[in-house]
Amino acid sequence: MQPRRRTHIGLIVTRSISILSSLVLACSALFAQASTQAQPGKAAAAQKLERLSAQLELTPQQKRQLIPVLMAEAPKVEAIRNDSSLSKLQKLEQLKAVHDRTDPQVKAILTPEQYQKLQQIRRQELEEAIQKKTGQ
């Protein structure tokens, strides 16, 4: 009877751990969703970091170093994008100025090849934005 009881208790413990793990994951997901909804600039920065991480093949250390740079940049970028008093050209100019200010920090984190690729990505994004603006 004793071994059967241990098996039953083990099963209860296993199920309890499974349920607890599910609750922790659900709470984490809700917390992450709430924090990104409360801070859309940070969500945009996180998305940008993930996109750049894949495109530039960043190391985990580079990602950690870029997070504060992008988090500091995100509210500025978001403010420019949401400023309805600016023309599209003015927005592009101001966005470029923000990138120019963070550029030395980014350049110090990336390898020369990654930095060159980032410059290509930025040029392409700028060209696409201009084409969208002119309707071509």
User: Which residue range(s) make up the domain with 21?
Assistant: 1-38
Residues 95 and 46 in one domain: yes
Residues 30 and 60 in one domain: no
pLDDT in tens, 109-124: 999 999 999 889 888 8
Residue 16 has pLDDT above 90, yes or no: no
Residues 79 and 34 in one domain: no
Close Cβ partners of 84 (under 8 Å, ≥ 6 residues apart): none
Residues 58 and 108 in one domain: yes
More confident residue, 4 or 20: 4
What is the residue-averaged pLDDT of the chain? 74
Q: Within 13 A of 121's CA, how many CA atoms are on the CB side?
A: 14
Q: How far apart are CA 20 and CA 68, in angstroms?
A: 33
Residues 80 and 124 in one domain: yes
What pLDDT, on a 0 to 100 scale, did the predictor assign at position 32?
Answer: 44
Identify the residue whose tokens are 């969703």.
Answer: 33
How are the residues of the chain apportioned to helix, strand and coil, as percentages rounded to the nearest 5?
90, 0, 10
Residues 26 and 67 in one domain: no
Residue 60 has pLDDT above 80, yes or no: yes
Residues 50 and 72 in one domain: yes
How many domains in the chain? 2
For the entire predicted model, the pTM comes to 0.58
Residues 95 and 124 in one domain: yes
Residues 124 and 83 in one domain: yes
Residues 34 and 56 in one domain: no
Residues 9 and 28 in one domain: yes
